A and B are shown apart, each in its own frame.
Chain A
Amino acid sequence: MLALATPLKTRLQALPQLTGWAVRVGTELADRRPVPAADVRCSGASVADSRTGAAMVAPEWTVTLVVRRSDTAADELDAAFAAVFASLHAWQPGQVAGRGWEPLTLQRVTEPLFADEGLAGCELVFSTSARYLSGNT
């Protein structure tokens, strides 16, 4: 499930709209001070179908976009939001670590946060799913 972090990061890093952005995943050790930034992390999973010997696991991947508060912050976030959506919504990771993943779909967007620390941002939550087999019947 967490193996999707690297392909997601790679895909976002390739976006021209995120040139100059720090793109990082939740599981790596990184300097998390630079902004603008796009943080990618798994924020849990639901199990859509769990039966003897198999389960359909649907992880959620949250992309947090953060920029400095300024007169142009809303436009920067808007452009990044559109680029991330276009890149990830309906994108199929395919085989990752030996498991076939369904296309990602955007599930929700959080209320933009304007933090006292001089930052502004919002989160896009995507979901995908794959079948896990246990080997026990």
Chain B
Amino acid sequence: MTLAPFAALESRLNSAVQRRLANATATHQGGEHFGVLLSREGQQPWGGDTVDAAQVTLGMPAAQVAGIAEGGELVINGTTTYVVTGPVQPDETGWLTLAVYPKA
């Protein structure tokens, strides 16, 4: 019996979420494709309707993008390269949500 049964459940849950809910695929540094949860919503970074921008986030198990840092790149659906911005901190279950933006 494992000494941390809930941690094992969390890991299984993350795997299940990725397997069942992924709505895009990603590759990191030319590696294998893996599923990600891509979320996109409108934002106004300067407030007051100054600029209409999109906030894109990608969710995945942190182990699949080991070593990634701000400025790192992920290719989504084999077509669009996104750049990581902001913190790279997985939660206590190992799930990582990255803020990204399309590379110009």
Contact = CB atoms under 8 A, between A and B. Distances in A.
Nearest to B56: A117
B104 A115 contact: no
Given A113-B45, A116-B101, A121-B46, A32 B52 contact: yes
Interface residues of A, number: 22
Contact of A26 (B48, B52, B86): B48
Interface residues of B, number: 18
A115 B45 contact: yes
A43 B55 CA distance: 25
A96 interface: no
A33 interface: yes
Interface of A: 26, 31-33, 35, 37, 39, 41, 64, 66, 68-70, 113-119, 121, 123
8 contacts: A32-B49, A64-B46, A66-B50, A116-B85, A116-B99, A117-B54, A117-B101, A121-B45
Interface of B: 43, 45-46, 48-55, 83, 85-86, 99, 101-102, 104
